[in-house]
Chain A
């Protein structure tokens, strides 16, 4: 079992739909990151969370430390949101490095 698991692996939505991507982890963490990866490889950091909720534009990230679960929500989705969304954790024992989930491929159709 991976330390970080994401669901779903693939998600197709129509423009305007509300989208949720889930991340569960099995280790104690000091922080959780949500990242976006477009074709070609570049990764952009969306959020870093250690508790509660953060919002940036149409993106919302929440984390429940007790349940070891985080969600990334996209409101009013748009085709330009199509990308791979990756959850990554910085565990309390792994030092500084990140451990990544396998990613969720999101496709938003017009």
Chain B
């Protein structure tokens, strides 16, 4: 296992289009997180899964955003009707189920909405 994998690494889309990102966590990790990072800022929490259950969603996650983790393995983050303000780095992280363990991050998907 080579770590957390995200696909694609880069995405350029026109405003109004839908985009979907994928995250493959480390295989034995049952916690999966999505964060968003804009230029010059630290990441901000979007949502969190324990296995297939989505346990927490940030208020940043508007109705245009949806995340799934159908079999408790990989996760997808979809943004519908993209806006220029959605341009950011979308980071995925995973960790084992125990509290207070390290989080392992993917390389991120950089989204540019034009």
Chain B interface, DSSP helix/strand/loop, else mixed: strand
B99 at the interface (CB under 8 A from A): yes
Q: Evaluate whether A95 and B55 lie within 8 angstroms (CB atoms) in the complex, with A43-B91, A45-B105 already known.
A: yes
A96 touches B102 (CB 8 A): no
Q: How far is the CB of B113 from chain A (nearest CB, A)?
A: 17
CB interface residues, A 18-53, toward B, < 8 Å: 30-31, 33, 35, 40-45, 48, 50
B53 contacts chain A at the CB level, 8 A cutoff: no
Asked, given contacts A33-B102, A97-B56, A100-B43, whether A41 binds B89 with beta carbons under 8 Å apart, the answer is: yes
Q: Give B contacts to A, CB under 8 Å.
A: 31, 33, 35, 37, 40-45, 48, 50, 55-56, 89, 91, 93, 95, 99-108, 110
A interface residue numbers (CB < 8 A to B)? 4, 30-31, 33, 35, 40-45, 48, 50, 86, 88, 90, 95-103
